[in-house]
Structure 1
Amino acid sequence: MCGRYTLLADELEILQEFGIDQPIADYEPSYNIAPGQNVLAIIHDGNQKRAGYLRWGLVPSWANDEKIGYKMINARSETAHEKPSFKPLMARKRCLIVADSFYEWKRDGEEKQPKRIRLGDRGLFAFAGLWDKWEQGDQKLFTCTILTKEANDFMQDIHHRMPIILPKHKEDAWIEAGNQPPEAVHRFLASLKTEDFQAYDVASYVNSAKNNDAGCIAPLA
């Protein structure tokens, strides 16, 4: 799964890395991005790529209650093209969710050791995400979920699931405008190569989403 991550880059670096022309309104780096928070995402509106904020935790357009979002922070890529909540989004509402590392907790007996995980050869990257718009009365929400898959050899030692990180040369294809058959999108995800990871232990300080400073990423001595 993916339940916590970081984005520490400055705005200019993000704009250059993803080829965005317009400034990012209200951009703030974060050491501890958690479900329920607004997260930086990129979509293609049919004319250009746009960066903005979506709330992490998908609320499908048909949902009666927005609280469902807390149960839908992740979507299994193996079945997303078949599930009513995700199938129409696989076809036409795909997004990049911008990050530069993520946290995962490795079980050790009764304890769980948090680890910070980064890509071995690049800083900024994008999770494969899905988004939707929900409206009820005067309330309007734009929300998202992160797609996951079975862990690779490196991650299996930490957790049995991992977020899908798009190879750099596949990012634009993921958010390409226009409808795509969900089955074709499923095959696209299944074909992606996994990049090399690096991981190190961090303190349980990161366990609380209220903590959002350099202490979250400080290596344990």
Structure 2
Amino acid sequence: MCGRFVVADAGSELVGVLRVDLIADDLPAPSYNVAPTDMAAIVLDSTKTEPPTRRLEAARWGLVPSWAKDLSVGARAINARAEEVEDKPMFRNALIKRRAVIPASGYYEWKLVDDQKVPHYIHPADDGPLLFAGLYEWWKNPSAAEDDPAKWVLSFTILTRDAIGRLGSIHDRMPLFLDPDFADAWLDPTTENVGDILDAAVDAAPDVAATLDDHVVSRAVGNVRNNGPELIEPVD
């Protein structure tokens, strides 16, 4: 799974990598400990224009489907298994039309060693942006006034697959990584071969995974109140 990640400056880098057309003015500040229900920057192709407009938007981590009664549903949907999304009502519609890319500098995963969980920071070897495949949804808060800025909530989930290679020795799941060259196909909301796009992303993710580095970091990352560049520094 992916339960914490880092966004140092990947949002600004992504504008060039993915040719973003519009950047929201409420993007969250850099964070070294993005946790479930936090806000993070995501990329999506909006179909409100023709052709679709590529947007960098602030979204809440934890997918909240349009039919949910409240936001609490999202806390249980921070990740979605790639092998299940086509069949689960929580994710099926988003997979068809609302795919997203979540940019990150890296992410944390915990390895069980002698009955203790040891946090690892996993990141690109070249310090470039790491791209997660995701899904997004818009949820309308029924209790908010129509003119309330919080009336509409944008949320997202990160797709995962079986981990392989060195990452598999840390945890049995890993995010569904995207190569920048494949991101256009993943984001395209007009595609009709959604199953093929998903299968291609799953098959290509190991190539990205093979380029990643990891090192052990402080257990301080386990506390969501801790947030700073020291969290990604290696420890003995």
What TM-score comes out, normalization by structure 2 length?
Answer: 0.87
Distance, in Å, in 2 between the alignment partners of 1:112 and 1:146 is: 22
The answer to whether the Cα contact below 8 Å between 1:41 and 1:51 also exists between their aligned partners in 2 is yes
Q: Which amino acid aligns with 2:42?
A: A
Match of 1:127 among 120, 129, 132: 132
CA contact (8 A) 1:90 1:185 kept: no
* CA RMSD between the two structures: 1.7
Deviates more, 1:20-29 or 1:167-176: 20-29
1:153 is displaced (CA, Å) by: 1.4
Identity among equivalent positions (%) equals 32
**Which residue number corresponds to residue 41 of structure 1?**
42
Q: Give 1:175 deviation, angstroms.
A: 0.4
1:147-192 CA-to-partner distances (Å, cap 9, x unmatched) read: 0000011111100000011011101111013253443343233332
SS of residue in 1 equivalent to 2:204: coil
Residue equivalent to 2:232: 217
Q: Does 1:203 align with 2:218?
A: yes
Unaligned runs of 5+ in 2: 145-150
Aligned residues: 221
Which consecutive residues of structure 1, in runs of 5 or more, have no partner in the other structure? Answer: none
Per-residue deviation, residues 41-65 of structure 1 (Å, max 9, x unmatched): 0011143211011100011111123
Q: Which amino acid aligns with 1:17?
A: V
The answer on 1:162 being equivalent to 2:174 is: yes
**Following TM superposition, by how much is the alpha carbon of 1:119 offset from its aligned partner in structure 2, in angstroms?**
2.2
- Report the 3-state secondary structure (helix = DSSP H, G, I; strand = E; otherwise coil) of the residue aligned with 1:165: coil
Counterpart in the other structure of 1:142: 154
Runs of 4+ in 1 over 4 A off after TM superposition: none
Match of 1:107 in 2: 112
User: What corresponds to 1:97 in structure 2?
Assistant: 102
CA gap of 1:179–1:169, structure 2 versus 1, over 3 A, is closer
Match of 2:59 in 1: 54
1:81–1:182 Cα contact (<8 Å) kept: no
Conservation of the 8 A alpha-carbon contact between 2:96 and 2:189: no
| Helix, strand or coil at the partner of 2:75 | helix
What displacement does 1:10 show? Answer: 6.4
Using the alignment, how far apart are the partners of 2:90 and 2:34 within structure 1? 24
